[in-house]
Chains A and B, each alone.
Chain A
Amino acid sequence: MDLRKEMGSDVDGRTLNYCFSCGMCTGGCPSAMITDSRYNPRRILHRAVIEGRLEDDIWLCTNCYTCQERCPTNTKVADLINLMRRIYVKERGVPEFIKPLIENLSSCGFTSSIGDLENKRRERMGLPRIKHNSEIREIIEKTGGGL
Chain B
Amino acid sequence: MSDRYAYFIGCTTPFRESNYDLSTRKIMEKLDIELIDMVDAGCCGLYYELVNELTYLSMAARVISMAEDLKLDLMVICNGCNGALYRANMKLKQNPELRDEVNRVLSGVDREFRGTVDVKHYVRVLWEGVGVDAIKKKVVKPLDVSVAAHYGCHLMKPSEELRFDDPGEPVSLDELIEATGAKSIDYYEKSLCCGGYVLAADQSIAYNMTGRKLRNVGKAGADIMVTACPFCNVMYDANQRAVASEMKEEFNIPVLHYPQLLGLAMGYSPKDVGLEQNRVRVDPKLFR
Q: Which residues of A contact B (CB under 8 A)?
A: 30-31, 34-35, 39, 59-66, 68-69, 76, 78-79, 82, 85-86, 89, 94-95, 97-98, 101-102, 105, 108-112, 114, 118, 121-122, 125-133, 135-136, 138-140, 142-145
B205 is an interface residue with CB less than 8 A from chain A = yes
A-B contact pairs, 15 of them (CB 8 A): A31-B205, A59-B198, A64-B157, A69-B157, A69-B168, A86-B50, A86-B51, A111-B47, A112-B12, A122-B14, A122-B21, A127-B18, A130-B39, A130-B40, A142-B58
Query: B58 is contacted by which of A31, A34, A39, A139 (Cβ under 8 Å)?
Result: A139
Q: Which 9 residue pairs across A and B have the least CB separation, nearest first?
A: A109-B42, A145-B55, A65-B157, A64-B193, A131-B40, A145-B52, A143-B55, A64-B153, A135-B109
**Which residues of chain B in 89-114 are interfacial with respect to chain A, using CB atoms and an 8 Å cutoff?**
105-106, 108-109, 111
Q: Which residues from B are CB-within-8-Å of A68?
A: 157-158
Check if B150 is an interface residue, CB within 8 A of chain A: no
CA of A63 to CA of B53 in the docked complex: distance in angstroms? 16
- B159 an interface residue at 8 Å Cβ cutoff? yes
Specify the chain B residue showing the minimal Cβ separation from A117: B15
Total interface residues on B, CB under 8 Å, equals 55
Residues B192 and A30 in contact, CB atoms below 8 Å apart = yes
Query: Is B197's CB under 8 angstroms from A62's CB?
Result: yes
How far, in angstroms, from A111 to B40 measured CA to CA in the complex?
13
| B52 close to A89 (CB less than 8 A) | yes
Main secondary structure of the interface of B (DSSP, over half): helix
Query: What is the 8 Å Cβ interface bit string for chain B, positions 4-28, against chain A (1 contact, 0 not)?
Result: 0000000110111011011001000
What residues of B have a CB within 8 angstroms of the CB of A122 in the complex? 14, 18, 21
Given contacts A78-B158, A82-B50, A143-B54, 18 further A-B contacts (CB under 8 A): A60-B201, A60-B202, A62-B196, A62-B197, A64-B197, A65-B153, A65-B158, A68-B158, A86-B50, A86-B51, A89-B52, A98-B50, A109-B40, A111-B47, A112-B15, A114-B14, A114-B15, A118-B14
With A and B bound together, what is the CA distance between A16 and B2 in angstroms? 40
For A127, the chain B residues whose CB sits under 8 A away are 18, 21-22, 25
Quick one: which of B41, B43, B50, B111 contacts A111, CB cutoff 8 A? Answer: B43
Contact A135 B42, CB 8 Å, known A63-B153, A97-B200, A118-B18:
yes
| Chain A residues near B18 (CB-CB < 8 A) | 118, 121-122, 125, 127
Contact (Cβ within 8 A) B51 A94:
yes
